[in-house]
Amino acid sequence: MKYSESDLESAIIDKLEHFLLELGKGFLFEARQKRFTFDEEHFFVDLVFFYNRLLRCYVLIDLKIGKLNHGDLGQMQMYVNYFDRFVKLEGEGATVGIFLCKKKHDALVEITLPRDANIHAKEYQLYLPDKELLRRKLAEWGEEVGE
């Protein structure tokens, strides 16, 4: 079955309540295809969330139906930098960038991004694992974000 990133985004929006519950506590939805402009060029972040309770920061999510590449990582770094410099308020944490992708290569992510980059990539599945596996994965991801 073929689908596009737009189809994936629409499916997430259609099931937004369930998606937010899968992300964990405290996520608030702000925008879909959030546009920002600099140097007279428009850029669009797929999904923008604000994590208000624990991290108090923006969370930008970019969806990839194929494998993640270095250009995607550079683009997300630009998005994160823009939000940190022009959108976030005093007292808020650093913006977090998350890729949800069909295929990622850990070595590519590691070599492309600075060691302290607040950008993460996670592979998605077209079906949900059982509840216990999902709980374990969410706990692991929560620990990684807290590092």
At residue 31, the pLDDT reads 84
The share of the chain scoring above pLDDT 90, in percent, equals 22
* Architecture per CATH, 5-146: 3-Layer(aba) Sandwich (3.40)
Q: Please list the residues that pair with 43 across neighbouring strands.
A: 36
At residue 97, the pLDDT reads 92
In contact, 24 and 54? CB cutoff 8 Å: no
At residue 50, the pLDDT reads 67
Closest CA to 98 of 71, 127, 72: 72
* pLDDT level of residue 52 (50, 70, 90 thresholds): low
Strands 96-103 and 27-38 turn out to be unpaired
Mean pLDDT value across the chain: 83
Phi, psi of 25 (to 5 degrees): -75, 150
The whole-angstrom separation of Cα 137 and Cα 142 is 8
The share of the chain scoring above pLDDT 70, in percent, equals 91
Tell me which of 43 and 29 has the higher pLDDT: 43
Average pLDDT rounded to a whole number, residues 58-75: 89
* pLDDT level of residue 24 (50, 70, 90 thresholds): confident
At residue 47, the pLDDT reads 81
Q: Is 147's pLDDT higher than 80?
A: no
* pLDDT level of residue 41 (50, 70, 90 thresholds): very high
